[in-house]
Structure formats: structure tokens, C-alpha cells
Amino acid sequence: MSTERRPGALRSERSRLAILTAAARQFAERGYDHLTIEGIAAEAGVGKQTIYRWWGSKTALIAECLVEGMLIPVPFRPEATGDPRKDLESWVQGILDFLPGNESLLRSLVITAAEDPEVATRLSERLGVFPIGLDSEGPFPLEVVEAITGAIVIRSLRGGDFDEGYASRLVDAVLGTS
């Protein structure tokens, strides 16, 4: 790891937070396609050159907003209660409970993640997409977790409803249980 500093002024934490806050707010309100560095800079009270110096692109800026918990404030993590199926269902329900009012945010994040692997990685981390215990023998296959999140994203993208019981039915469908 290089300890050399890039030329220019050191990052001001106050400016960094102002930029991240403006980016997160505008991203959630307008979506990725309508997000501009100029608009973020104006709201944050900094020059757009400051943003470009600290982040190479708007996707890098959005990735940092994700890391900082400014777009999805609480990472979704399944609990380990000893009943892995119920833990998985609880994790799914947590994501579903977050979605009302955040559908456009999810759609924008999916679009951004499709264009930038770093954003995809950060989104996966916030959604808790990682293998979790199915039984004492080992984790759920990653494919199970991806199938569940994929189903949620697809239903959200087409404006589908997540009625009561959807989390349980989805987990049953993916795990092949009834």
C-alpha cells in the first residue's frame, strides 16, 4: 500500500460528509440517471473539482454512500436463532419491510450496480448477500441467497406487491419446502 498522498488539499471531514449527504439525498430523490456532480457540489457547498479529486466518478461516490450507510442505513443480517429456515425468512422480511417508500432507491441501486462492480459489491454487503447457515453442516449455497434477492429485485422492478406471507412463500419456493 502506497503512503504517497495525491496532490491537492487534504480532505475536510465536514466537506466529505456534506458531499456524501447531498449525494445520498439526491440519489434517493432523483435516481442515478438524474444525479449530477454539479448538483451535489452546489448542495454541499463545494466545487465540483473537489468531488472529482476525491472520487473518480459518481459511481465511486455512490459506492461510498453505501459503505457509509447513507443509502441503506442498516445492513440486513440474518439472526442465528438455531432455526436457519426462520432466520432466512426473517432476513427476507427485513428487506421487504425496508422497501415501501424505497422502491425507486432500489431500482436506482440495481441500475448503478449493473454498471459498476464496486457498487454491486457494496449493495450486496448492505443487503447481507452472503452465505448463511442452513444447518450445522454448513452455509446456504450462495445461489439460494441470490435466488431470493433476485426474486425480490425482479418483483420490485415490475412494481409487484409484497403481501403478508410473501417472505415465507419465497423461502419455501427457493428451499423446495412447503
Whether residues 168 and 107 fall in one domain: yes
Q: What is the pLDDT of residue 134?
A: 46
The whole-angstrom separation of Cα 124 and Cα 128 is 6
Q: How many CB atoms lie within 10 A of CB 15?
A: 17
94 domain residue, yes or no = yes
CA distances from 139 to 14, 79, 83, 88, 134 (A): 41, 13, 13, 11, 5
Query: Could you tell me if residue 130 is inside a domain?
Result: yes
pLDDT, tens digit (0-9, with 9 covering 90-100), for 85-130:
888 898 889 888 888 877 777 887 888 888 888 778 877 777 765 5
Mean pLDDT, the chain, integer: 81
Q: What is the CATH number of the domain that holds 25?
A: 1.10.10.60
Tell me how far apart the alpha carbons of residues 73 and 15 are, in angstroms, rounded to a whole number.
20
Q: What parts of the chain have a pLDDT lower than 70?
A: 1-10, 73-75, 78, 128-140, 178
Give residue 120's domain range. 84-175
Which pLDDT score is estimated for 164? 92
- Alpha helix positions (H), the chain: 13-30, 37-44, 48-54, 58-67, 84-98, 103-115, 117-127, 142-157, 166-175
The answer to whether residue 72 is domain-embedded is no
Question: What's residue 39's pLDDT?
Answer: 96
Q: How many domains does the chain have?
A: 2
Specify if 2 maps to a domain.
no
- This prediction has a pTM of 0.68
The answer as to whether 77 is a domain residue is no
- DSSP class of residue 163 equals -
**Spatial CB neighbours of 14, under 8 Å, sequence gap ≥ 6:** none
Q: Are both 98 and 63 inside the same structural domain?
A: no
Q: 63 and 88 share a domain?
A: no
Burial 108-123 (b: 16+ CB within 10 A, else e): bbbebbeebebbbebb
Residues 25 and 103 in one domain: no
